[in-house]
């Protein structure tokens, strides 16, 4: 079973992914974590990605799809995709990669949180790309490039929308119901 967790920046995708993998046998694949690991390691990819991420923009589809393809091919487990796909091109690329393996996405969990709460959370998180100007740009990028994925996956009848505010445990219980159904 492959699952996508989708939501605005700061909606808690990483936080809920950590809960999901405690209870379901899935491999956690976070493109944000992978990019931050490249930055920490000081690779060429990391240096290029940092400039883009600091502005709140998206790293190119080719780079992301290359990184993800490598991971998908190296595991037999179901995958929890966190922060990926973020564009229609990435979603189409993912569908293609999975269909080559006779597989497909089973569930898309959409985490719904209002923008005021998101801004408050990210300012409190204080990661390097969490300043107010970058956050506003990331929210705009989300609306323009990532939100259309909800329609893309709704057309495949795969989307379950989950309220992403409240306690981490309460939100996880809502997700657990969807994944156990």
Alpha-carbon span 119 to 45, nearest angstrom? 28
Exposure class string for 9-41: b at 16+ Cβ within 10 A, else e: bbbbbbbbbebbeeeeebbebbbbebbbebbee
Tokens read off for 88:
């229609």
Distance CA 87, CA 6 (A): 11
Cβ closer to ligand B4P: 58 or 162?
Answer: 58
86 is a site residue for ligand B4P (CB under 6 A): yes
Q: Which of residues 92-151 bind ligand B4P (CB under 6 A)?
A: 121-122, 124-125, 138
Q: Which of 2, 3, 9, 91 binds ligand B4P (CB under 6 A)?
A: 9
By the rule CB under 6 A, 168 interacts with ligand B4P: yes
d(CA 177, CA 180): 5
35 binds ligand B4P (CB under 6 A): yes
Span near ligand B4P by CB under 6 A; candidates 11-19, 69-77, 93-101, 148-156:
11-19
- From 2, 3, 4, 11, residue interacting with ligand B4P (rule: CB under 6 A): 11
Say whether residue 171 binds ligand B4P (CB under 6 A). Answer: yes
């Amino acid at each position: 079973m492959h699952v996508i967790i989708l939501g605005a920046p700061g909606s808690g995708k990483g936080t809920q992914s950590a809960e999901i993998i405690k209870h379901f046998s899935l491999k956690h694949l976070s493109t944000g974590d992978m990019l931050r690991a490249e930055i920490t390691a000081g690779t060429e990819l990391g240096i290029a990605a940092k400039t883009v991420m600091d502005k709140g923009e998206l790293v190119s589809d080719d780079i992301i799809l290359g990184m993800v393809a490598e991971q998908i091919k190296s595991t037999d487990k179901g995958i929890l995709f966190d922060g990926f796909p973020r564009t229609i091109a990435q979603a189409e690329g993912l569908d293609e990669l999975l269909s080559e393996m006779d597989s497909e996405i089973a569930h898309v969990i959409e985490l719904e949180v209002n923008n005021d709460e998101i801004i408050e959370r990210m300012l409190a998180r204080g990661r390097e790309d969490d300043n107010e100007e970058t956050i506003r740009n990331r929210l705009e990028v989300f609306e323009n490039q990532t939100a259309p994925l909800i329609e893309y996956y709704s057309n495949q009848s795969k989307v379950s929308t989950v309220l992403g505010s409240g306690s981490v445990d309460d939100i996880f219980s809502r997700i657990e119901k969807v994944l156990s159904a």
